[in-house]
């Protein structure tokens, strides 16, 4: 019972760790290039979840100053601001990776990583 309440209290952190491992597994084992990019996005989502749930202060309100109350407990707004930057970085990495995959598909006509490695090996061993 003790274990169950402590798991439910920290469910954010356990979820973030599980998503990180699932994302890493997807990147390392799947052979389709698009699935690898999706795996990177899952890893990034897990880190954003971890970072934002650090800033929670119990019994705090959302961090917008109300002019009527002067003493109130607010949730820490700094992690949310940092994660906005992180989301923009993640979007630009995904955009760049997808445009590289389009070029690779036009050059090799397949999206499978191992077939692309085979085709590039036979071209380079012909030199």
Partner 1 sequence: MDDLIVKTITRLIVPFIQLYGIYIVLHGHLSPGGGFSGGAILGASMILFTLSFGLEEAKKKVPHRISMLVETGGILWYIGVGMIGFISVGVLWGNKIAGFDLGEPGRLLSAGMIPLLTLAIGAKVASTMITLFHTVIEEDE
Partner 2 sequence: MIRMLPVFNLLVLLATAVLIPVFSKRVFTKIKQISTVAMIFATVSSVISLAYVVQIEGYSIVFGGYTSAIGIELTIDAFSALFAVFISALAFLIIVYSFADITHEIDEDQYGSYYTLVFILLFAMMGMTYTNDLFNMYVFMEILSLTSCAIISIKRKKANYLAALRYLVLNTIGSLSVLMGIALIYMVSGHLNMGQISLIIRDIWQLYPGNIVVALGFILTGLSIKAAVFPLHVWLPDAHSNAPTPSSALLSSIVVKVYVIATIKLLFKVVGADIVTSLQIPPVITIVAALGMIMGSIFAIGQKDIKRMLAYSSVAQIGYIFLGIGLMSEQGLSAALFHVISHGFMKSALFLSAGAIIYYKNRRNIKLFDGLGYQMPVTMIIFSFAALGMVGIPGFSGFMSKFYLLVAILEAGVPFYLGVILVSSYLNAVYYLPIIISAFLKEDKEGVRTMKVEKLPKSMLVPLIIIGVVIVSIGFYPQLIMQFIELAVATLIN
Contact between 100 and partner 1 per CB under 8 A:
no
The residue written with tokens 């630009």 in the block is: 92
**The pair of three-digit structure tokens given for residue 119, joined into one six-digit string:** 């085709």
The residue written with tokens 């979007």 in the block is: 91
Stretch 40-79 residues interacting with partner 2 (CB under 8 A): 40, 43-44, 47, 50-51, 54, 79
- In whole angstroms, how close is the CB of 53 to partner 1 at the nearest point? 17
The option from partner 2, partner 1, none interacting with 84 (CB < 5 to 8 A, set by class) reads partner 1
Give the closest residue to 50 by CA, choosing from 81, 22, 11.
Answer: 11
Q: How far apart are CA 107 and CA 2, in angstroms?
A: 58
* Alpha helix stretches (DSSP H) within 55-112: 78-108
Q: What is the DSSP letter of 63?
A: S
The option from partner 2, partner 1, none interacting with 20 (CB < 5 to 8 A, set by class) reads partner 2
Stretch 14-43 residues interacting with partner 1 (CB under 8 A): none
Give the closest residue to 111 by CA, choosing from 98, 96, 123.
Answer: 98
Interacting residue ranges for partner 2, rule: CB under 8 A: 20, 24, 27, 33, 36, 40, 43-44, 47, 50-51, 54, 79, 82, 85-86, 89, 92-93, 96-97, 100-101, 103-104, 107-108, 116, 120, 123-124
């Amino acid at each position: 019972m003790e274990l169950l309440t402590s798991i439910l209290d920290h469910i954010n952190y356990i979820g973030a760790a599980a998503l990180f491992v699932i994302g890493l597994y997807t990147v390392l084992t799947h052979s389709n290039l698009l699935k690898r990019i999706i795996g990177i996005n899952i890893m990034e989502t897990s880190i954003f979840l971890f970072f934002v749930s650090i800033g929670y202060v119990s019994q705090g309100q959302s961090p917008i100053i109300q002019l009527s109350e002067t003493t109130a407990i607010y949730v820490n707004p700094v992690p949310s601001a940092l994660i906005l930057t992180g989301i923009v970085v993640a979007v630009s990495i995904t955009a760049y990776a997808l445009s590289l995959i389009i070029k690779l598909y036009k050059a090799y006509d397949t999206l499978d990583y191992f077939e692309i490695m085979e085709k590039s090996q036979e071209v380079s061993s012909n030199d």
